[in-house]
């Protein structure tokens, strides 16, 4: 038996070695060290470069509190494949060159002559760690040149894997407080999520709450809803929030105690109704900011919030302080014809030269209360190279992210320096406020072996391109738009949100939080030059005031006095003094205890003005209200709304249209989402993605384990036989 022991030990050792090897990738799950960013975090996927010539640029931002103290390091994990067979006098193995550029400067030219996966290392000098762009983002560009493929068809491909790392040496510094860069550094647009907590007084006035919601709408627009926002009161602001979040105080100067802890230098000559905006470094976290949106009166707070919603601030005696004397209400422009070229709008010639798809964009403005007539069009002036494959190259034009036409490149259009193509602008795609036209160009060479240094692959969009925009007044027909499926219409029709008002209780922070998220979403969708929404407290607004606005009503029905006028007009009314609706809407009547949370969203023509609408986000508990408001702010639920009545149960939405007599329609429950949006810090996961595991590992491991067990079995059988002998 002792002679068999070494065999058994060897077999067991082999088994444990194989098992250990199969779990080896778990070692890569260790958190990255500080200052390290992976390509997976920047792009979310690997970069594939196709020979003989290809390139790709990665754009990214770095935190505003990083001050570089030395060179950066790029550690690339690369997989290369190419046909290494010799052809004629061409060597059997060649490969190509990979050029790395950082912020438009060449930092390395690397020969690629190996097959398989390997590492490459590039040092980026500290002097190049300054962005050349107006938005402050960095540029990392990879260019592949395997031109030898044109003599020997190598079919070369290079993959820059997600484990590629950028390492930065830095020290933390206090970010700049200059208001000219707003919304930076509160919103920095990096791989690290940005979050700000808005702090209001414990007992805010309607105007102070209006200031908070106005600010949320403006930040939603300025950051495309990418900035996370939470809401709390001064007494509920926690030390954890102070340490982890940007803090925005909104309210009269005397109603927020924490202002005494800040190094503020407010002007002594400010008038009573002036608005005040000041940004300072946080005393609780060196990397965070504190923004104060204040005034000595309610009027001043509203002015400051409206000014901030524009995103364009003019400081005075100090770069971090702005005093707002007044905000003018711009009258709705009368119908007119806007006939402008791209040059009139401030755009120069756009030259697109990258192989594959690239794009450029142009913004134009439609006055509030107006839309374009059916005669509106874009006349695009363009030119292009003749050295391209016309079957694979051309132009697609989009209006507000929707395609409206395309162009096929031809030999005839290549012969002309300037060609024109006309595209109608559909009324249904044009929004009040800012609109965007994107021109996407696909460029593919006629011959893949054309050297890029020839610069023979190009398309040009000329500034003589013309927008013809005959404006007409918008005639709002609420009868045709009372459907939850059309949300956020008609609330977003006024790009300034000046026709929108929130109706809230004066002591309901949960409803205020929901209103904040809705305001943020509507600000993003309306895309206006300023936010001028209104806030009323329940019981404090006369019917004549309510008649002037499209309303969003939030709260518990039994606690709101407005329900006396609103309840009879609801598609599905509530029982008198109750937070539960009647069962008339459902084909199946359920008996639901009063304390089981339910959220309700109802849409109706305003009982105070037939030209206005009311969105009622109501609930029988705090959770129910949170679910109802989330359905008007968060995409997992918002897309399920339909008809004029919806019941929200966590992530389940059931809809009905009482005008058509349709029973409640249930939608499949969605994957769990966190409702409502938590007003707290967001943790970033710096865990690197697991390495790609080749498909052969598991089958090979299985075979190897089987062989080991077979060896053990043979050993045991032989041992048994030897005993019998």
DSSP assignment string, 557-607: GGG-TTHHHHGGGSSSPBPTT-SSB-STT-SS-----TTS--EEEEEEE-T
CA 395/CA 194 separation, integer angstroms: 36
Higher pLDDT, 711 or 348: 348
Q: Give me the long-range contacts of 40-46 (CB less than 8 A, separation at least 24).
A: 40/162, 40/163, 40/688, 40/689, 41/191, 41/686, 42/191, 43/162, 45/162, 46/159, 46/160, 46/161, 46/162
Higher pLDDT, 680 or 370: 370
From residue 59, give the alpha-carbon distance in Å to each of 191, 426, 452.
11, 33, 22
Residue 653 has pLDDT above 70, yes or no: yes
Higher pLDDT, 342 or 335: 342
Q: Domain limits at 252?
A: 179-324
CA 192/CA 198 separation, integer angstroms: 20
> What pairing do the DSSP bridges indicate for beta strands 662-666 and 275-281?
unpaired
Is residue 9, in this structure, part of any structural domain at all? no
Same domain, 525 and 550: yes
For range 409-423, the mean pLDDT: 94
Query: CA nearest 364: which of 529, 220, 492?
Result: 529
For range 194-212, the mean pLDDT: 96
Backbone angles phi, psi at 175, to 5 degrees: -65, 160
CA 195/CA 188 separation, integer angstroms: 10
Same domain, 615 and 489: yes
Contact criterion met (CB below 8 Å) for 228 and 189: no
For range 129-155, the mean pLDDT: 79
Is residue 60, in this structure, part of any structural domain at all? yes
Q: What is the pLDDT of residue 522?
A: 95
Residues 6+ apart with CB under 8 A from 588: none
Same domain, 352 and 454: yes
Q: What is the pLDDT of residue 147?
A: 66
Measured in whole angstroms, how far is the alpha carbon of residue 308 from the centre of its chain? 21
> What pairing do the DSSP bridges indicate for beta strands 228-233 and 195-200?
parallel
Highest mean pLDDT among 251-255, 360-364, 537-541: 537-541
pLDDT band at 2 (very low <50, low <70, confident <90, very high): very low
Helix-helix angle 622-630:509-526, to 10 degrees: 0
SS3 356: strand
What is the SS3 assignment for 483-518? CHHHCCCCHHHCCCCCCEEEEECCCCHHHHHHHHHH
Tell which of 172, 187, 214 closes a domain. Answer: 172
Higher pLDDT, 146 or 178: 178
% pLDDT > 70, the chain: 78
SS3 469: strand
CA 391/CA 454 separation, integer angstroms: 21
Higher pLDDT, 18 or 367: 367
Same domain, 450 and 503: no
For range 281-285, the mean pLDDT: 93
Is residue 93, in this structure, part of any structural domain at all? yes
Angle of CA points 192, 198, 201, to nearest 5°: 160
Same domain, 457 and 486: no
CA 180/CA 312 separation, integer angstroms: 7
Q: What is the pLDDT of residue 323?
A: 92
Q: What is the pLDDT of residue 21?
A: 37
CA 73/CA 243 separation, integer angstroms: 30
Separation of first and last alpha carbons in the chain: 13
**Which of 376-380, 527-531, 690-694 has the lowest average pLDDT?**
690-694
Tell which of 391, 426, 461 closes a domain. Answer: 461
CA 352/CA 396 separation, integer angstroms: 14
Q: How many domains does the chain have?
A: 4
Same domain, 393 and 530: no
Q: What tens digit of pLDDT does each residue of 485-498 get?
A: 888 888 888 889 99
- The domain that contains 184 carries what CATH number? 3.30.379.10
Same domain, 419 and 539: no
Contact criterion met (CB below 8 Å) for 344 and 469: no
Q: What is the pLDDT of residue 245?
A: 95
Is residue 653, in this structure, part of any structural domain at all? yes
Is residue 683, in this structure, part of any structural domain at all? no
Q: What is the dihedral of CA 388, 410, 461, 421, to 10 degrees?
A: -160
Residue 122 has pLDDT above 60, yes or no: yes
Which residues lie across from 21 on neighbouring strands? none
Is residue 707, in this structure, part of any structural domain at all? no
From residue 709, give the alpha-carbon distance in Å to each of 77, 696, 718.
37, 20, 14
Residue 697 has pLDDT above 80, yes or no: no
Same domain, 273 and 234: yes
Same domain, 164 and 183: no
Sign of CA dihedral 509, 512, 517, 520: negative
Tell which of 151, 172, 193 closes a domain. Answer: 172
**Which of 260-269, 477-486, 609-618 has the lowest average pLDDT?**
477-486
For range 706-712, the mean pLDDT: 57
What is the chain's mean pLDDT, rounded?
Answer: 82
pLDDT band at 129 (very low <50, low <70, confident <90, very high): very high
Q: What tens digit of pLDDT does each residue of 85-112 get?
A: 555 555 555 678 899 999 999 999 999 8
CA 696/CA 60 separation, integer angstroms: 35
- The domain that contains 130 carries what CATH number? 2.60.120.260
Residue 656 has pLDDT above 80, yes or no: yes
Ramachandran class of 35: left when φ > 0, alpha when ψ lies in -120 to 50, beta otherwise: left
% pLDDT > 90, the chain: 49
Backbone angles phi, psi at 38, to 5 degrees: -100, 160
CA 235/CA 454 separation, integer angstroms: 66
**Which of 104-108, 278-282, 388-392, 609-613 has the lowest average pLDDT?**
388-392
Contact criterion met (CB below 8 Å) for 715 and 21: no
Q: DSSP secondary structure string, 228-273?
A: EEEEEEGGG--HHHHHHSEEEEES-GGG-GGGGGS-----TT--TT
From residue 135, give the alpha-carbon distance in Å to each of 167, 365, 529.
22, 22, 19
Contact criterion met (CB below 8 Å) for 150 and 449: yes
Same domain, 243 and 111: no
Q: What is the pLDDT of residue 689?
A: 37
Query: CA nearest 221: which of 443, 482, 532?
Result: 532
pLDDT band at 675 (very low <50, low <70, confident <90, very high): very low
Is residue 674, in this structure, part of any structural domain at all? no
Query: CA nearest 233: which of 210, 211, 204, 205?
Result: 204
Backbone angles phi, psi at 563, to 5 degrees: -65, -20
Same domain, 301 and 355: no
Residue 548 has pLDDT above 60, yes or no: yes
**Which of 87-91, 122-126, 466-470, 473-477 has the lowest average pLDDT?**
87-91
Angle of CA points 217, 223, 229, to nearest 5°: 60
Same domain, 149 and 234: no
Is residue 721, in this structure, part of any structural domain at all? no
CA 597/CA 443 separation, integer angstroms: 56
Residues composing the chain:
725
CA 406/CA 422 separation, integer angstroms: 10
Q: What is the pLDDT of residue 94?
A: 67
Q: What is the pLDDT of residue 84?
A: 58
């Amino acid at each position: 038996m002792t002679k068999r022991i070494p065999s058994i030990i060897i077999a067991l050792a082999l088994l444990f070695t194989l098992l250990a090897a199969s779990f080896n990738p778990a070692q890569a799950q260790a958190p990255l060290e500080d200052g390290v960013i992976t390509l997976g975090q920047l792009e979310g996927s690997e970069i594939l470069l196709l020979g003989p010539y290809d390139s790709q640029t990665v754009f990214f931002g770095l935190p505003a509190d990083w001050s570089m103290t030395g060179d950066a390091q790029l550690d690339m994990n690369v997989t290369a494949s190419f046909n290494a067979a010799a052809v004629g006098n061409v060597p059997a193995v060649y490969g190509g060159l990979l050029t790395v550029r950082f912020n438009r400067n060449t930092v390395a030219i690397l020969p690629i002559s190996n097959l398989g996966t390997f590492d490459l290392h590039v040092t980026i000098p500290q002097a190049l760690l300054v962005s050349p762009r107006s938005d402050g983002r960095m540029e990392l560009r990879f260019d592949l040149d395997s031109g030898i493929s044109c003599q020997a068809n190598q079919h070369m491909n290079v993959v820059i894997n997600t484990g590629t790392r950028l390492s930065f040496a830095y020290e933390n510094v206090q970010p700049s407080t200059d208001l000219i860069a707003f919304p930076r550094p509160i919103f920095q647009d990096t791989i690290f999520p940005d979050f700000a907590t808005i702090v209001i007084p414990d007992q805010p006035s309607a105007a102070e709450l209006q200031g908070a919601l106005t600010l949320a709408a403006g930040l939603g627009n300025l950051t495309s809803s990418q900035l996370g926002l939470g809401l709390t009161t001064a007494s509920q602001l926690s030390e954890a929030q102070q340490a982890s979040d940007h803090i925005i105080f909104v309210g009269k100067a005397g109603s927020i105690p924490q202002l005494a802890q800040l190094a503020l230098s407010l002007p002594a000559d400010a008038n009573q109704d002036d608005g005040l905006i000041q940004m300072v470094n946080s005393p609780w976290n060196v990397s965070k900011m504190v923004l104060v949106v204040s005034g000595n009166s309610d009027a001043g707070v509203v002015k400051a919030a409206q000014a901030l919603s524009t995103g364009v601030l003019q400081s005075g005696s100090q770069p971090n302080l702005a005093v707002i004397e007044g905000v003018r209400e711009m009258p709705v422009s009368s119908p007119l014809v806007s006939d402008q070229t791209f040059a009139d709008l401030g755009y120069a010639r756009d030259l697109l030269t990258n192989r594959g798809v690239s794009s450029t964009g142009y913004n134009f403005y439609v006055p509030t209360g107006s839309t374009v007539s059916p005669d509106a069009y874009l006349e695009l002036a363009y030119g292009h190279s003749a050295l391209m494959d016309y079957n694979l190259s051309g132009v697609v034009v989009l209006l507000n992210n929707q395609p409206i036409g395309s162009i096929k490149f031809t030999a005839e259009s290549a012969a002309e320096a300037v060609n024109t193509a006309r595209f109608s602008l559909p009324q249904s795609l044009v929004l009040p406020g800012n609109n965007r036209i994107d021109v996407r160009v696909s460029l593919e060479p006629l011959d893949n072996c054309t050297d890029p240094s020839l610069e023979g692959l190009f398309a040009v969009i000329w500034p003589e391109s013309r927008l013809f925009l005959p404006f007409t007044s918008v005639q709002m027909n609420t009868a045709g738009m009372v459907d939850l499926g059309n949300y956020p219409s008609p609330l977003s029709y006024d790009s300034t949100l000046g026709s929108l008002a929130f109706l809230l209780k004066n002591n309901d922070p949960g409803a205020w939080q929901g209103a904040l998220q809705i305001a943020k979403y509507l600000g993003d969708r309306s895309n206006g030059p300023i936010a001028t929404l209104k806030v009323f407290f329940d019981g404090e607004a006369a019917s004549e005031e309510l008649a002037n606005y499209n309303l969003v009503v939030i709260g518990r029905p039994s606690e709101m006095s407005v329900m006396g006028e609103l309840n009879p007009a609801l598609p599905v009314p509530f029982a008198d003094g109750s937070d539960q609706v009647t069962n008339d809407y459902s084909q199946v009547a359920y008996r639901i205890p009063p304390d089981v949370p339910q959220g309700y969203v109802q849409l109706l023509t305003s009982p105070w003005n037939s030209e206005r609408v009311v969105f009622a986000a109501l609930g029988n508990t705090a959770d129910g209200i949170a679910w109802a408001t989330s359905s008007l702010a968060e995409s997992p639920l918002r897309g399920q709304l339909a008809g004029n009545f919806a019941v929200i149960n966590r992530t389940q939405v059931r809809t009905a249209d009482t005008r058509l007599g349709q029973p409640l329609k249930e939608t499949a429950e969605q994957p769990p989402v966190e409702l409502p949006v938590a007003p707290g810090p967001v943790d970033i996961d710096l865990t690197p993605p697991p390495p790609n595991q080749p498909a052969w590992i598991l089958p090979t491991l299985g075979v190897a384990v089987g062989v080991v067990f077979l060896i053990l079995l043979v050993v045991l059988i032989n041992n048994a036989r030897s005993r019998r002998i």
